[in-house]
Structure 1
């Protein structure tokens, strides 16, 4: 039996079964470094020091799943800004729409990285290229491309509750989950929507 990787950022928001497989789990962990939830958790990319601690732990988890994982590398201020921008752009692109509170999807600016294509007897594959934050950005985009071809990227979602926005991996059969946690995020949104409908009906009955 394969032991699940311990993703330090994602562990703050959901159970093990909600984490993405393989290298996509690192992408999810990057998304969950943000200040999310209620009460809000700290932003792990707020400073070079906290980002370094998260990165060391997250790459250690990744190394148990992917032998091609990028090695730990110190982040400077510019690299931290680039990594934070990537995280926020990905959250915008992956945001899940909600019927009562629509969220624009696919509106993030294009994310450009460099990569190397290696070809051998087993086929062609993309390999990350660069150093520091650029190597991480390259790895993340390669994982997203691989997940697209494997048809698993659609399962990496951002909670439809605007007060949460935690990233989770939807393992439901029909890939229909909207909430990071249906018992908290889902109920909160449903109650809010219900009250809004009741208010509208009350106003309508006065006219």
Structure 2
């Protein structure tokens, strides 16, 4: 596990259950829930399994992530109970997000179906939107809310997945011009540059 990003960004939360495996600094506010869902994907190279591979592991992730989301955004804490079908839906949601969260091109809002939100009351008394339904829909509804909130704040385009095809890590690009393409340039960036250099040498060899 690399801690390069977390050491560069002291003060940013690493408490999200999936992202902390990779030492990744969390995206701001509730957008970290979307990032953490993406980071439940397996990373064989780093020895990390898919956190949505079983009902038990998915339940542990969802309970911790939704508690962190409620804390981060001042939402009412909701108990999430997942069944086998819910886990399959969460994996499908994750893949939908991974297909649109890229390191190049214009940001795209995913077309998420089967999710609803409802008006609720925040702990401070203000009117707020909350995810509706049960099981995976609670997680998915929160994800939907945070994507649209982040898009309105111009944060959605900064959530990316590492350009390396072998790296599943989702990161939040805090660079001024939103130009990062690697979750860690010292790891994935250097590997890619080394491969490109070797390929150029092979092409130029007599």
TM-score (structure 2 length as normaliser): 0.82
Once residues 203 and 97 of structure 2 are traced to their aligned partners in structure 1, the CA distance between those partners, rounded to angstroms, is 35
Asked if the contact 2:103/2:180 (under 8 Å) is kept, the reply is no
CA distance in 2, matches of 1:116, 1:35: 33
Q: Choose from 124, 141, 144 the match for 1:141.
A: 144
C-alpha change, 1:91 and 1:186, in structure 2 (3 Å) is: same
User: Structure 2, unaligned stretches of length 5 or more?
Assistant: 1-10
**2:116 corresponds to 1:114:** yes
Q: By how many angstroms is 1:67 displaced?
A: 2.4
Number of equivalences: 192
Kept in 2: contact 1:37–1:164 (CA 8 A) = no
Deviations 1:42-98 (A, max 9, x none): 10000000111111222222232122255121100111111111011101110224x
Is residue 38–residue 98 contact of structure 2 (8 Å, CA) maintained in 1? yes
Superposition RMSD in Å: 2.7
Alignment partner of 1:7 is 2:16: yes
Cα distance, 1:20 vs. partner?
0.3
Q: Per the alignment, do residues 70 and 193 of structure 1 end up closer, same or farther by CA in structure 2, a change over 3 Å counting? A: farther
Structure 1, gaps ≥5 residues long: 98-102
Structure 1 position 30 matched with structure 2 position 37: yes
- Asked which structure has the greater CA Rg, the reply is 1
Partner of 1:194: 197
